[in-house]
Amino acid sequence: MILGLTRSWSLAGYVITAILLLPLLALIVQATLPDEAVFSHLFNTVLPTYIFNSLILMLLVGLGSLIIALPAAWFIARCEFPGRRYFQWLLLLPLAMPAYIVAYVYTDMLDYAGPVQRALRAWFEWQTPHDYYFPAIRSIGGAAIVLSLVLFPYIYLLARTAFMEQSSNLLHASKVMGCGPWRSFWRLALPMARPALAVGVALVAMETAADFATVSYFAVPTLTTAVYDTWLGYGSLTAAAKLSAIMLLVVFCMVGVERFARRKQQLFQKQARLDESDRYHLTAVKAWTAWGYCIGLLTLSFLLPFAILCGYAVDYFAESWDIRFWQYSLNSLYIAAIVSAVCVVLAVVLMFLRRVSPRSSDHLASRLSSTGYALPGTVLAIGVLVPLTYIDFAINDVMDWMGAQGPGLLFTGSIFTLIFAFCVRFVAIAIGSLENSYKRISPSLDMASITLGQSPMQLLRRVHLPLLRKGMFAGALLVFIESMKELPAALLLRPIGFENLATYVFQFVSDEKLEHGALAAIVIVMVGLIPLIYLNRSLEQSH
């Protein structure tokens, strides 16, 4: 720790934290204001349904993702079978596929007029819907299945890592005691992986709570769609803020319950590198069962939707390849580039402050800056719009008082609002990436720099930044991709006439014309594959 750290660094950290917390504080203040009876009407009519649907959907997606991710994680981590080396990174690909695109593809396939039901009617000579029963894809169950197929890699990745990091000595001991693969998994590996599984389920539940496009397309009323409809339909920002506060309460309660459940759980195990001799070598039927499960899961969650997208893109290439596609692609690229650069700079300042400052308040500032990632996009949009609208009006009032013409909607009428919202939400990703990189830098380097008379700025520039380049690149890359994919905040905060690839594709999905936006959707997916490949390479190097 550097005791001679100048106050300017601490002040910079406090200012950054205050700016990043401004949307959350503004949202809480706005939620305490009275409204024009809109919230009371919602509370007495549809709000219980919104809350019930949100909780049920989170439960179904969490359980569904856990059920389909666990076998895949165990096969990859502890078993040897044909294709295991490739499946360990291929099963991460669904994260690159936006859920609402998968929702459209499966709805188009499984709806009454889709090819599956048409084939069933032709084969069995059914004439009307009364002749047979087929589950409704546009339902809360259908939304849960689609979201589970897209979000299960969160649990798969954490569970796979947990299984791989479990001591091989414990596995050998279980074999000596007569435990086969199933008993070893159920009695030893699964309980030890519980912390990772709890974190994974919590992440999936929060992503489910934040989803807007999928539930909107399936016409499932949740708190996320309620915020959107209340703001744009009823025109009540205060009522939307109250609903957003309820969503925040649900999210924070989930995080609290997950941590409370693990408060007394401690695992102590001697780490031992896992090699091929420690894995169960599957043969014959068992090997093909593991292969079939992995390829089936990969096909349903990524290969099939992506292949259909490619087919759409080829068939409608002439309609898609136009000036709008290029303009919206450039909009997405430069917004994402600005956001990733700003987030990395902010993360460097906050993490450097946490690294070298002896004050606990400086450490708290950097941790509070990450809370924006817990805000769903619709909630974040409310929190961002409230203070920036107030600032816009204040600037115009001052200009009018001075006898000059005001600038109008300086912030809320430009892309600044969108960039600010993305930075608030995604700076946590850059902070997390740099935090992992800082753990690999020995404190002795800091002490040596102090001994040589280096200032904090010189320490950062000459020692830390060269060693943080890999973490900074990873953080910038992840923020870039998340900014390309973010939809709810972009829908609500984009200036009039401004579109990016995410909003462009969603408009086609809403109009049941994804075929015309398939090329843009493929760009989003392909860009999303970059950090997944990078992540897998990093994991392979660490194991």
DSSP string, 439-461: TTS-HHHHHHHHHTT--HHHHII
User: What confidence score (pLDDT) does residue 270 get?
Assistant: 47
With a cut of 80, say whether residue 538 has pLDDT above it.
no
Beta strands in 248-405 (DSSP E): 280-281
**CA dihedral sign of residues 16, 19, 23, 26:** positive
Q: pTM for this structure?
A: 0.83
Q: In this predicted model, what pLDDT tens digit does every residue of 292-341 receive, in sequence order?
A: 999 999 999 999 999 999 999 998 888 888 888 899 999 999 999 999 99
For 133, the domain range is 7-264+288-535
With respect to residue 111, please indicate whether it lies within any of the assigned structural domains: yes
Let me know if residue 271 belongs to a domain: no
Is 384 within a domain? yes
The predicted pLDDT at position 206 comes to 83
Confidence of residue 60 (pLDDT cuts 50, 70, 90): very high
Q: How many distinct structural domains can be found in the chain?
A: 1
Nearby residues of 474 by Cβ (< 8 Å), 6 or more positions away:
433, 531, 534, 538
Region 55-59 average pLDDT: 92
Answer whether residue 374 is part of any domain.
yes
pLDDT digits (tens, 9 = 90+) for 411-432: 888 899 999 999 999 998 888 8
Task: Let me know if residue 279 belongs to a domain.
Answer: no
Say which CATH number the domain at 361 has: 1.10.3720.10
**H or E stretch covering 80:** strand 79-80
Which H/E stretch holds residue 79? strand 79-80
Confidence label for 186 from pLDDT (cuts 50, 70 and 90): low
Residue 370 falls inside a structural domain: yes
d(CA 431, CA 173): 40
- How many angstroms separate the CA atoms of 44 and 101, rounded? 34
Residue ranges in 130-280 assigned as alpha helix (H):
140-165, 168-176, 181-184, 190-192, 194-210, 213-217, 223-229, 237-261
Distance CA 364, CA 349 (A): 14
Q: Where are the alpha helices (DSSP H) in 32-130?
A: 38-44, 47-78, 84-90, 99-110, 115-124
* Angstrom distance (rounded) from CA 233 to CA 247: 19
Judge whether residue 109 has pLDDT over 50. Answer: yes
Task: With respect to residue 540, please indicate whether it lies within any of the assigned structural domains.
Answer: no
